[in-house]
Structure 1
Amino acid sequence: MLRHIDIQNCEQVTPADQPAPMLDWIPISKIVMDDEYQRELKPNNWAAIKRIAADFHWSRFSPVLLAPIEGGLYSCIDGQHRTHAAAICGFDRVPAMITTVTKAEQARAFVHVNGSQIRVSGHQVYRAALAAREPWAVSCRDAVEAADCRLMMNNSTLAKDKKPGEVFCIALIRKLVEAGKAGAVTAGLQALRAYEPEKVALYADYVLTPWLTAVASDPAFVNADLVAVLRKRNPYQVIEAAERYAGVERLPTAPTKRQFFERQILEHGFTVAA
C-alpha cells in the first residue's frame, strides 16, 4: 500500500524566519570540523567509520549538514563519520545540505540532531551546548566553577587521569540545576573541596549523586556547615552504612543513601559552638 503525504488533520505551523538551505555536492577537502562543538574521533569512532566504509552504499548515505564559513570552507554540523568513510572509499565529494547559520546555531543544530541519539554522549552534548551558549549548559558550568571545580566536557575512564575537582556526572548536575538547585550544587562541591582538597574519588558519581541530592533536598541545607558534616563521618562510611541498611530492610538503595546524608546534615550541620 502506498500513501501520499496527508496533513489535513494538522494545524498549520509558521516556521522561524530563516534562509532556505541548498543541496549540493561539496568537495571533502573543503569540509572542516569545529572542535569547539564537534566530537573528538576516538578509537570507537574510527571503528564506526571503518564499518561504514567497508559496506559503503550511497543508498544508505544521507546528505551531511554543513554551514559555510570563511575561506570558502564548510563546517560539518552532522555527518563527520560518513564524510570520513566516503574519503576512505576514494570519493572526493559528498552530498550535502548547506544552511547559512551562525556558529552558535551550528552548535545548537549539532545538539538537536545528535542529542537524543545514543552515539553522542552527554559530555559531547554539554560541550556543544556550551559552545552555543545554551542557558542550561552555562548555568551548569557556572554552578560547578563557583565551587572551584570543573564540569568536564569529555569522560575519562582511567582513574589516574582524573584530578581533584573534576566533575563528570553531567546528567546529575543538569537535573539539579534545571530544578533550581544550582546553589546546592555549589555548596555541596565547595564542602568536598574544603574537606579533602586532593581526594579525586570524592567526585565520582558514587559519592556525588547521594551527597548533592541530599544537599539539594532542603533549601536550608545550603546554609548548613557541610564541611563539619563530612568531617563528623566521612561520606564513604555514610554510603556503606546506607547500603547495608537498604540490603537488610530490602529498600531501594539510591534514596536510602540520600536519606542517610540528609540525616547527617540535620544532626551535624547546624550545631552552634559554645
Structure 2
Amino acid sequence: MSRTTRVQLEAAAAALRLEEEQRLGKLYGSLLSDVLLLRSRDNDVRKEGGRLLFNGRAISAEELQAKAARERRLLGQSQPDKGKHVARTVAGHKVGDRVSLKARRSAAAQVPLAAVKEKLAGAALASKARAEQASTDLGPAPRLEWLPVEQLGVDRRYQREMGKDNWAHVHRILREWNWLHYQPIVVAPKEGGAGYVVVDGQHRLEAAKKHPLIDRLPCYVVDAVDVAQQARAFVALNARRIGVTRLQRFWAAHAAGEPTAKRIYRICSEAGVTITKSGGVLPPKTTFATFTIEKLLPLGGGNITAALKILAATHGDKPDVFKSAWIFALTNLVAAKDVDRDRLVRTMTGVDLDQVAAAARSARATSGGSMEKAVLAELRSRCVPGTARVGDRSWERTRALCS
C-alpha cells in the first residue's frame, strides 16, 4: 500500500471516529465519561427510547453516575471535575463541537468508496475474529466429588461477610432445598491442611449445614493451590455473570405452571395486553411490568384488568406506555372507593402522559419517593378534586370499552 493511500485511509477513518465521538456526545452529554468508563468495565450501557439501560435494566442518570463513581474508587481514580473537565478528541476538539472536515474529506474523497468499505469490513472481521478466539491455556482440569459438609469451610480473607440479607438468603435456600434446583458449589483444596475452602457457593454451604438431611454436597473441585489463585477464581466467577431478569424469571415460572405467573398472564390477556419477552421500546399494548402486577394482586385481578383496559382504550395506540408507573397508578385509582370510574376514564381520555410524567418527576425531585407513587398522586389530583370536562362521543366510546 502506498503512503498516499495509507494517509487517505487514515484520514477517512479519523473522520468517521470524529463523527462517532460527536454522536456519542450529543446522545449522552455530561454522562459520556461515565458511560465510557462503565463500558470499559464490561458493562452494557446504552440509550434506547430515551431511557438509559445498564445491563438491560432501566437506570436513572444519578444511579449511572453513582455506579461510575464506585468503579473509579475501585480503580483508584479521582472523580472527574464535572464543572471544569471537557472531553476532547486527540485533535483537541471538544466532544459535540462542529468541526469542518473539508480538508480531510477532500483527501478521503480521492479514495474509492469501495476501498474504504473494504478496509472497514476487514477491520470489523479482524475484531470479530479476535472476539471469538479460543483460549489456549485451559488450566488444570477440575473434578466432581461428593464431599462431607464438615470438610468444607470459607476463607474470609476474600469471601463476603454474612450480614442480615445474606442469612435471609441462606434461610430461603434452606426452606426451598431441592436437588433438582441445586448447582454444585466450587471448592479448592485447603492450603497446607485437610479439607476444602469454598470459592463460590457459601450460601448453599451454610444452608446445607443447617439442613438435617444433608451431610454431603456435590462439589466442583478446582486446583487453586493458594489463596491468591482462589481469590482470582472468586472474582472471575462473580464478575462475569449475567443476571436473570425479573421478566425472564416470570416466563420461566409461567412455563413451569406456577399459579401466580399464570394469573398475571390471564389478567393481561383479558385486557388485550401482551407481555413481552425482551426489553427495549414497548410496542402498543405491550408490557414487561410483571413484577409490578404481582405486587398489585392484593388489590384484585379485576381491578388490574380494568386499569389495563382504561390505558388500552385511551392510549393503546402509543408505544412505550404500559409501564409500571401507569399500571400502578391506574390500578390504585380503580380500586379506590373515592374515585369515580367514569371521571377517571374522562381524565385519562384527555390527559397528556408526557405532561403527567414530567410533573411527577418534578414532584419526586422535591419530595422523594418512587415514580409510581408520584404518578399516582398526579393523576389523583387531576381526577378527584374537580369534575373533568366530558368530551363528545369519543369519550362515550372510551367509557364503553372500559366498562
**How does the TM-score come out when normalised to structure 2?**
0.35
**How does the TM-score come out when normalised to structure 1?**
0.49
Greater RCO structure (CA 8 Å; 6+ sep): 1
Greater radius of gyration (CA) = 2
